A and B are shown apart, each in its own frame.
Chain A
């Protein structure tokens, strides 16, 4: 771990400007991902701005009937919030499917969105990795890539985004609020927060230098039943091979509305827009769900060890939809 300096931020704007002004600075909150990466010198910040004590730790109702979640709300608190559990159960389920109790107690909402990939080759500094060392190549393309992406990847990078929480937020159409070093605020639809790798996999989000997430806002609750289904190699503390967030409203035997998002398959939490489009108005039947699962994986490309993710994701989407539709 490189030696670094540290400061505790007093307010959000000051934190953002500190990261912009200080060379090689980064925000730190729970540190559950950043500290691991620093020990391995995959992240080598010279300066840390601690934002964990900022007054961004509340969950408030919004005038339109949604919820505004402070960026410093801990994952465990968010999962346990009665309003989240009753109105946005897919979010609570996703949070509890992630990491371990200890990590959820430390990890923040904003930090969870910005955690970095678990690609095994990203974690070995001696190996080429375009995300870690732009232009060096991708060790995963021809190497062991069982955990890697089948959707949205590029020849430069096939890493997946590891968050469970973000998959639920994408299904719920959340928006992200930020503050810039100049003090300006803006909102970003969550689906636009993360970028696809293209030829620049080291640029992972739309956030500018020093721009800090202050809150995540949920629109009013969706009608229908909410399911988060995570498929993994062991019962707990394992990243998703495939996960599916599904919110399905069925009335009179027909799908009135549907949201489908997937984790573990792409460089960002993946909204399956085509699958959703194909569901609305259709009979809530196995045939409909099979077609939606096919649509969700349209264009998927396996890289060898991860080929199984394509049929696995289809089967999981189909089953999650059926469960959400209470079939």
Chain B
């Protein structure tokens, strides 16, 4: 049988895949009918748990007096380490293997030790949320406080080399003789940057409803990857994973903060088991700063050496990051630099300094977000030292193959992105001399930076079923964290099966569905999309086989296509629903899969990344130092675009994250007590609408046939990569002031801005 289909996903340039389809779940969301974690209502009225956090960062609980709280109105139970159920010990700071970090037991209220400020020390469960919160204020705790260590900059000499970075990369890489080449290079930059603690702050705070039925537990929560939650809860509660079902149909943003279980999930599950009734637990916005992950503070030393023409001879990147003492997290900050530019002598290293803070977690573009912010500024500094246009400097260091792995790139359109961006942005109008462009009392500057982000694919499966009426139901435990998964999967199905959008129902966010790798690492679309695509191909084959055996046709030579609700076999068309009623009155289903990149030779043999170029224009008030964005442009080469609208939104969101990182986001850790001080959205500044300028996103036509059958690559995190550096470089171009401590707030610029006559 040859299937010469006109609707294979990879062969239809103008099919439904790629179209800027509106979100299929949009109407549910804007009418409030999309149910988020804390909104789930079931038969039994739940009890509400409120978490009480520790008032010290490190030490021991000496005494807890819960008597008054227990007597408070509506209180059902006050759980502390004294009466919480036994759980496995937390264990070593580093898990034996990389995947175990996602699934390890995360016990709560299990010892008198306090490991970080605001760590849960009690759960007050009451008939209402308000009663629980009121009673939490009545719990009296005395502590034996110990001296903690919180500083990074002053303790670099205590740094150690971890065994690996996040995602299992080598801690260090070294090629050639970096030190020798750097020492003898004609032009060098040796610059140290600092990036601060940052927090994800999704709009939806972490929340869980836990419901037991006999031995079986159902968790309603906001989760990016259901398998991690299932395993994390099973390991913490010591129950079989099959007894845990995770439900997460809608997620109000994750950004990496909902990859693993957090206190709300563990405590709701434990309390619901103890009380034999459903329990809801939500983190407050303030509690999220200590208990829902963060990006750690880092120091970055970038050393670049080149010849007089700007060809890099030496590329060195050392990163020191704070890490929790009890659970190691080494963001892979320097890893992208191993693939970005050509240079014969190379050195990248990651070092960690332990602090008494909760563990760092995966935060949108782990590695590239802080790393490219620093590194791409250093490249800008080198360009200036050379007197060379930063665009041209990058062109001259474009590698022919992956510079550290020595293998070809799959598709790499970095230079094309840069050139297209420069043309569209009007880069030629940039004055290379800083602080020369002024409009009224504003200093105007332009900057640019490159973007690179590895392409991953995770194991995924999906089940597609079509009924005799032609209605398609797709099930997989993938999540839509606001990225548009429901929509792109709908498009893949519509194109693969030639059915109308209205006939397709995508069901996500239930761990009883076929397992996927979830949303993380920008791999969701490619992984789940490939699995759905595979399932549709198999379903099509089953339909064809049924049709041909029914018609007793020659199956081997039939020409088949699925178009517009019809099946064409050897030039004869039949409505798909008529065919199904005839040959499969009970419907047909098929399961599809995709292998993870670790088992894919195309991944081993090709260096796979998404690329982009960011351009930014800023205006700096010369009187006050206030920085306001004027324009941003990103040109992206990320394989095939599955939906031009949701992809654009992903890139825009990333660019806004880049803007936040460059200019405003910083969580301040009090070095005396170890708490994050500005722990709410009034004082932790993310960019608001007024800060977001004219933004443009351009996708280059690209199809990466090494990546997956769809030709698509991840882009959810690509928009962040380098975006902040383009802004920082624009601030430099505007003012002539190079701020190397992020975020670039006006107090850091002000001392260097001359007071100009009115």
Contact = CB atoms under 8 A, between A and B. Distances in A.
A273 interface: no
Contacts of B663: 234
Interface string A143-166: 110100000000000000000000
B747 interface: yes
A41 B286 CA distance: 13
Given A126-B55, A315-B624, A308 B747 contact: yes
A286 B757 contact: yes
B624 A118 contact: no
Contacts, number: 95
Nearest to B135: A3
Interface stretch (B259-267, B318-326, B405-413, B664-672): B664-672
A233 B685 contact: yes
A236 B688 contact: yes
Contact of B664 (A124, A234, A327): A234
Contact of A316 (B133, B623, B751): B623
A143 B670 contact: yes
Interface string A225-260: 000000111111111011000000000000000000
A120 interface: yes
Interface string B620-633: 00011110100000
A144 B683 CA distance: 13
Given A286-B757, A289-B758, A316-B623, A1 B688 contact: no
Interface stretch (B238-246, B355-363, B673-681): B673-681
Contact of B746 (A123, A231, A237): A231
A319 B758 contact: yes
Contacts of A41: 137
B615 to A, nearest CB: 21
A40 B685 contact: no
B624 A121 contact: no
Contacts of A144: 668, 670, 677
A195 B725 CA distance: 45
Contact of A315 (B623, B628, B668, B687): B623
Contacts of B689: 236
A121 B675 CA distance: 11
A231 B690 contact: no
Given A1-B130, A40-B286, A143-B670, A241 B746 contact: yes
B745 A233 contact: yes
B670 A118 contact: no
B682 interface: yes
Contact of A3 (B130, B624, B678): B130
Q: Binding site of B, secondary structure by majority: helix, strand, loop or mixed?
A: loop
B755 A234 contact: no
Q: Name the residue in A41, A231, A241, A315 with the highest tally of chain B Cβ atoms < 10 Å from its Cβ.
A: A315
A107 to B, nearest CB: 14
Nearest to B677: A120
B443 to A, nearest CB: 14
Interface in A1-43: 1-3, 39-41
B758 A235 contact: no
Given A118-B683, A143-B670, A143-B672, A312 B690 contact: no
Interface residues of B, number: 41
A301 interface: no
A233 B286 CA distance: 21
Contacts of B682: 118, 237, 239
A142 B671 CA distance: 11
A265 interface: no
A78 B626 CA distance: 28
Interface string A115-151: 0001011011011000000000001001110100000
Given A121-B677, A316-B623, A3 B73 contact: yes
A127 to B, nearest CB: 7
Given A289-B758, A308-B747, A3 B134 contact: yes
B747 A312 contact: yes
Q: Name the residue in A3, A234, A236, A308 with the highest tally of chain B Cβ atoms < 10 Å from its Cβ.
A: A234
B690 A236 contact: yes
Nearest to A143: B670
Interface in B98-132: 130-131
Contacts of B133: 1, 39
Interface string B343-374: 00000000000000000000000000000000
Contact residues on A (Cβ < 8 Å of other chain), bracket:
35 or more
Contacts of A231: 624, 626, 746
A120 B683 contact: yes
A293 B384 CA distance: 37
Q: Name the residue in B55, B73, B133, B626 with the highest tally of chain A Cβ atoms < 10 Å from its Cβ.
A: B626
A315 B755 contact: yes
Nearest to B73: A3
A124 B677 contact: yes
B655 to A, nearest CB: 16
A163 B673 CA distance: 29
A120 to B, nearest CB: 5
Contact of A235 (B673, B678, B691, B746): B691
A261 B380 CA distance: 42
B757 A237 contact: no
A113 interface: no
Contacts of B678: 120
Contact of B675 (A124, A142, A318): A124
A48 interface: no
Given A1-B134, A41-B137, A143-B670, A234 B688 contact: yes
B432 interface: no
A238 B747 contact: no
A161 to B, nearest CB: 15
A245 to B, nearest CB: 16
B632 to A, nearest CB: 15
B670 A146 contact: no
Contacts of B737: none
Given A121-B677, A315-B623, A235 B688 contact: yes
A286 B441 CA distance: 15
Contacts of A143: 670, 672, 677
Contacts of B664: 233-234
Given A3-B130, A120-B668, A120-B677, 5 more contacts: A1-B137, A120-B678, A126-B673, A308-B746, A308-B747
Interface of B: 55, 73, 130-131, 133-134, 137, 284, 286, 441, 623-626, 628, 663-664, 668, 670, 672-673, 675, 677-678, 680, 682-683, 685, 687-691, 745-747, 750-751, 755, 757-758
Interface of A: 1-3, 39-41, 118, 120-121, 123-124, 126-127, 139, 142-144, 146, 231-239, 241-242, 286, 289, 308, 311-312, 315-316, 318-319, 322, 327
25 contacts: A1-B134, A1-B137, A3-B130, A3-B134, A39-B133, A39-B284, A41-B137, A118-B683, A120-B678, A126-B673, A139-B670, A143-B672, A144-B677, A231-B746, A232-B626, A234-B687, A235-B691, A236-B688, A236-B690, A236-B691, A286-B758, A289-B758, A311-B751, A315-B750, A327-B758
Closest 9 pairs between A and B when the two form their complex, measured CB to CB: A235-B690, A308-B747, A236-B690, A126-B55, A322-B758, A286-B758, A319-B623, A120-B677, A231-B624
